[in-house]
Amino acid sequence: MHLRPLTAFLAAFVMSCAPVAFAANPLSTHREWRTYGADLAGTKYSALTQINRTNVQQLKPAWIYRCDDMRARPASTIECNPIIIDGSMFITTPGLKVISLDAATGTQQWVFDPWDGKGGRGVNRGVSYWAAADDRRIFFVGGNFLYAINAATGQLIRSFGVGGKVDLRDGLDRDVFFLSVTATTPGIVYNDLLIMGSAVGEGPAPSAPGHIRAYDVRTGKRRWIFHTIPHPGEFGYETWPADAWKTAGGANCWGGMTVDVQRGLVFAGTGSASYDHYGGNRAGQNLFANCVLALKADTGERVWHFQTVHHDIWDYDIPCPPNLVTVTHGGRQIDAVAQSTKVGHVFLLDRVTGKPLFPVEERRVPKSEIPGEQSWPTQPFPTKPPPFAQQRFTEAEVTDLSPRSREFVLNKLKEMQTGDIFIPPGLKPSVVLPQFNGGGEWGGAAFDPETHLLFVNASDEAEWISMVPSKPRAEMTLDEIGRLLYGSICSACHGFERPVNPASPSLASLKSVRERLTKQQVLELLETGRGQMPSFATLSNLEKRAVVGFLFGEPGGERVSVAEAKLSFADEIPYVATGHHDFRDPDGFPVNKRPWGTLNAIDLDKGEIRWQVPLGTYPALEKKGLPPTGTFNIGGPLVTSGGLVFIGAAMDERFHAYDKSTGKLLWEFQMEAGGYATPATYELNGRQHVVIAAGGGGKPETKPGNAYYCFALP
């Protein structure tokens, strides 16, 4: 009877005293979802038990909130993991607005729209929260800008940065004004610092460096910077060519971070260096690309690093935050870091030293055949746990769905390279499994502190890739120039068949651009850039005309001199990828054997996979009586003390609940669109809720959606 008023009093008292956004109310923190991924450790774990194995079958929607800015073309998506604090839920929309809802009813409280009703493009996975006394702030990134918003009113806090926002292109110790610097995943708060990663260009055209920065939460001033591409005199500088720090891009933390408050450490996983598929101009190991990083949270100083891919030419980014875990190893409790990867590895590292708890072997991998490329001879493989994703594609792994499908794929393989992971992209098409999207993806893993199980989902569908010269011949047709330019500067994000940029899955295939924009608008877009797309003002008039002609399907058969079409990057990047290509059987299903997507429970104490089950199914095959096949999946899991793992993610557009001990599917709900986001859970007014965004669209390319579904028991 008296506990709830006492809790409210303690919450108000702690909020008035503590400037730390980690746990404003220790008595109710487990009832809320205060941070992207649940907590600063990124566990995606909740101690709530009201919804459990015995009653989860009774879950029903308590409320549904529908956003008003869904796009059909290009199909929008929602990847937001909501945060829930003091009875309010903070979400983002398909058009990148921030909205505050009453978490009990789903009633809208306020809207922040930095786009003036025009709608933003790209993706957003959530927001950050900080509070001290009556100063409560939401931090959100839209386009190139970091915004500070009053959590109570939705108004800009004008004293932050310049008029309430900070341009992320500033403060990188290099001029990147004409390049794209944004953030798809929210930053993390440590005391009075907001620590930010970024999403930058990945193609052969110039891209910004992915340096990690900390901002003062009150003023927006940069407090520190860690150069992920080291400057002269800094650790790791010798792993790049001497002047690479002036021009190299990428090596960015785009998947989010975690914090050990007691030790004052922030942990990040970084992506590959740009360009993704050719590194002849960046010979060396390329620290701190593809690294798990431990930095001092108050200064940004490096404590340790562990590189998961050397000299990446595959786009095998670390896509998600490292999970901070405690495991039993060698008879004692050890605080550790568990990092899941795109290729399906889990690296378990001592949190203080960065040393692997299970042996890691450097194994030889094939050498690149591309002239000028200097691929690294070995790559690290953890001996435990075993891979949670498929890592090999040969004739033995070809689909057995039907004799027709198998024969079709076997014929295709006669002209392709196949084998284990780390086949370098070459002039001959090669099959990639897991594909460049993973394996593991940005949804990352959930950790259960009760059982020391790590829950992680994986996609197991193959793609293919090939490389072509980027230099134009002396004379070409406009069609050829347009296709070459598109393949060089556009396909890294937009693909030839479908969107492929892992940081930007809502980017549309440019094949349909004529349905959305005029030629003049495309020319202006090439000149100015927009959102995550950088400016291509350096292209010549002929080059711009060729790109527009290619996009609009205009005949361009006349042969022209290409003296002015010398690509600005062709000397440094003489070979480019033709794109990340779907590889499907004649009926549109994956070419490898099932399962095509899984949910995995990994025992971190023993380094063993406890169970693995298919995640999702193709309805067409389900109707034929086939058991769940698994599908490509995007979005992460949530684990609870009630014995459940909740996850959407799969292309069947269902929200699933599994028994965390056995992997048995206990409940599922058919939504109107795919739940390509990570769910959250919270307790309000004595009632536990589970919420997930059903935004559809995105990388799986299913129909778009506009809803947040919030479930509770009757």
H helices present in 174-268, as ranges: 244-247
Please indicate, yes or no, if residue 528 is contained in any of the structural domains: yes
Q: What is the predicted pLDDT for the residue at 484?
A: 75
Six-digit token pair at 8? 């409210």
Mean of pLDDT values over 20-24: 38
Please indicate, yes or no, if residue 544 is contained in any of the structural domains: yes
Six-digit token pair at 411? 């014929």
Six-digit token pair at 494? 């937009």
Q: What is the predicted pLDDT for the residue at 565?
A: 58
Number of domains in the chain: 1
Single-letter amino acid code for the residue at 283: A
Question: Phi first, then psi: what are they for 235, rounded to 5°?
Answer: -55, 135
Selected residue with higher pLDDT from 478 and 65: 65
Nearest-10 Cα torsion for 551, 553, 558, 564? 0
Q: pLDDT-based confidence at 5, cuts 50/70/90?
A: very low
Contact 444, 255 (CB under 8 A): yes
Q: Residue 386: CB partners within 8 Å, gap ≥ 6? A: 608, 609
Give the Cβ contact number of residue 174 at 10 Å.
17
Single-letter amino acid code for the residue at 478: L
Residue among 317, 304, 319, 385 nearest 351 (CA):
304
Please indicate, yes or no, if residue 494 is contained in any of the structural domains: yes
Q: pLDDT-based confidence at 25, cuts 50/70/90?
A: very low
Contact 282, 246 (CB under 8 A): no
Please indicate, yes or no, if residue 381 is contained in any of the structural domains: no
For the packed helices 478-485 and 541-551, what is the interaxial angle rounded to 10 degrees? 90
Residue 534, pLDDT above cutoff 80: no
pTM of the model: 0.91
Please indicate, yes or no, if residue 650 is contained in any of the structural domains: no
Q: What is the predicted pLDDT for the residue at 487?
A: 67
Where is average pLDDT lowest: 489-493, 520-524, 649-653, 688-692?
A: 489-493
H or E segment and range at residue 63? strand 60-66
Q: What is the predicted pLDDT for the residue at 46?
A: 98
Q: What is the predicted pLDDT for the residue at 240?
A: 98
* CATH (domain of 485): 1.10.760.10
Q: What is the mean pLDDT of the chain?
A: 90
> Which residues make beta-bridge pairs with 393?
419
Strands 654-659 and 665-670: antiparallel
Please indicate, yes or no, if residue 539 is contained in any of the structural domains: yes
3 state SS of 488: helix
Please indicate, yes or no, if residue 509 is contained in any of the structural domains: yes
Q: pLDDT-based confidence at 549, cuts 50/70/90?
A: confident
Q: Is 479 exposed, middle or buried (0-12, 13-18, 19+ CB in 10 A)?
A: middle
Q: What is the predicted pLDDT for the residue at 14?
A: 37
Long-range residue pairs from 129-133, CB within 8 A, at least 24 positions apart, any chain: 129/21, 129/34, 129/35, 129/83, 129/85, 129/90, 129/189, 130/19, 130/21, 130/189, 130/192, 130/194, 130/217, 131/15, 131/21, 131/24, 132/15, 132/18, 132/19, 132/192, 133/15, 133/16
Mean of pLDDT values over 575-603: 95
Strands 45-46 and 360-364: unpaired
Residue 20, pLDDT above cutoff 70: no
Residue 661, pLDDT above cutoff 50: yes
Distance of CA 72 to the CA centre of its chain: 22
Selected residue with higher pLDDT from 115 and 474: 115
Residue among 349, 332, 351, 353 nearest 340 (CA):
349
pLDDT in tens, 223-278: 999 999 999 999 999 999 999 999 999 999 999 999 999 999 999 999 999 999 99
How long is the chain?
714
Terminal CA-to-CA distance of the chain, rounded, Å? 23
Six-digit token pair at 551? 């996009």
> Which residues make beta-bridge pairs with 612?
600
Domain with 526, as residue range(s), is 471-568
Where is average pLDDT lowest: 165-179, 266-280, 551-565?
A: 551-565
Where is average pLDDT lowest: 86-90, 432-436, 601-605?
A: 432-436
SS3 content of the chain, % helix, strand, coil (to 5): 15, 35, 55
H or E segment and range at residue 156? none
Contact 194, 128 (CB under 8 A): yes
Contact 695, 671 (CB under 8 A): no
Q: What is the predicted pLDDT for the residue at 76?
A: 94
Please indicate, yes or no, if residue 694 is contained in any of the structural domains: no
Whole-number Cα distances in Å, 670 to 152, 484, 648, 702: 34, 43, 10, 14
Q: What is the predicted pLDDT for the residue at 19?
A: 39
Q: pLDDT-based confidence at 204, cuts 50/70/90?
A: confident
